[in-house]
Amino acid sequence: GYLGAKYIVDQLKKVGGGKVAIIEGLPGASQGEARKAGALKAFKESSAIKVVSTQPGNWDRNTALNITTNLIQAHPDLKGIFCANDTMALAAVEALKAVGKKAQVIVVGVDYIPEANASMKAKELDASVAQSPYLFGYVGAVAALKSLENSPLPKGISIPIALVSQSNLDQYNDWK
């Protein structure tokens, strides 16, 4: 969440900041909570950013669509939305387009799914934090093998992520 929200902060610094919102995943789900915490941290690092809403989207497109519709009515000057996954981010884009506000609001998601890539190519979704299912699977298989061999496992395993935006979209066409 930090990387995606930091992108919003960096873009909004160019226009003096503004109001932002977070559409989180399912309350209590570890990955959703971590993404929300990271986004809040990035937003709080800038005094020019004001978080006006944090709502659970439950990883659901329709829920995120309704949240975004309500957000833009309650905060017509909203400037950014961080969504805990791309499905919800794409719903936010759809809701903003329906009311003619997409150009005003930066939307960032997580997962870099194929639909996010297509939306970014259409210059709708602003950015997505890319994770590699291939690397997750590979690291999991290596860890399982080490476990079977009774080899020690490292305490923490980091898997690279990347922020994909209009400025580097072509570099991630074959992301796996």
Domain coordinates in residue numbering, the chain:
2-130, 132-164
Confidence (pLDDT) at 164: 86
Confidence (pLDDT) at 11: 96
Confidence (pLDDT) at 155: 77
Confidence (pLDDT) at 125: 97
DSSP conformation letters of 101-170: -GGG-EEEEEE--HHHHHHHHTT-S-EEEE--HHHHHHHHHHHHHHHHTTPPPPS------EEEETTTGG
What 3-state DSSP class applies to 26? coil
Superfamily for domain range 2-130:
Response regulator (3.40.50.2300)
Confidence (pLDDT) at 49: 97
Question: Of 7-11, 107-111, 136-140, which gets the smallest average pLDDT?
Answer: 136-140
Share of the chain above pLDDT 70, in %: 88
pLDDT at 78 over 70: yes
d(CA 106, CA 126): 6
Confidence (pLDDT) at 158: 67
pLDDT at 73 over 70: yes
Confidence (pLDDT) at 86: 97
d(CA 145, CA 60): 35
Query: What mean pLDDT is reported for the chain?
Result: 89
pLDDT at 90 over 60: yes
Within 13 Å, how many C-alpha atoms sit on residue 148's CB side? 6
Convert the pLDDT of each residue in 111-157 to its tens digit: 999 999 999 999 999 999 987 555 556 566 766 777 778 878 777 76
Q: Could you tell me if 18 and 79 are in contact, meaning their C-beta atoms sit under 8 angstroms apart?
A: yes
Q: Could you tell me if 16 and 48 are in contact, meaning their C-beta atoms sit under 8 angstroms apart?
A: yes
pTM summary value = 0.85
Mean per-residue pLDDT, 43-60: 96
Q: Could you tell me if 149 and 74 are in contact, meaning their C-beta atoms sit under 8 angstroms apart?
A: no
4-17 b/e with 16+ CB inside 10 Å = b?
A: bbbbbbebbeeeeb
The band of 64, judged by pLDDT with boundaries at 50, 70 and 90, is very high
Confidence (pLDDT) at 149: 81
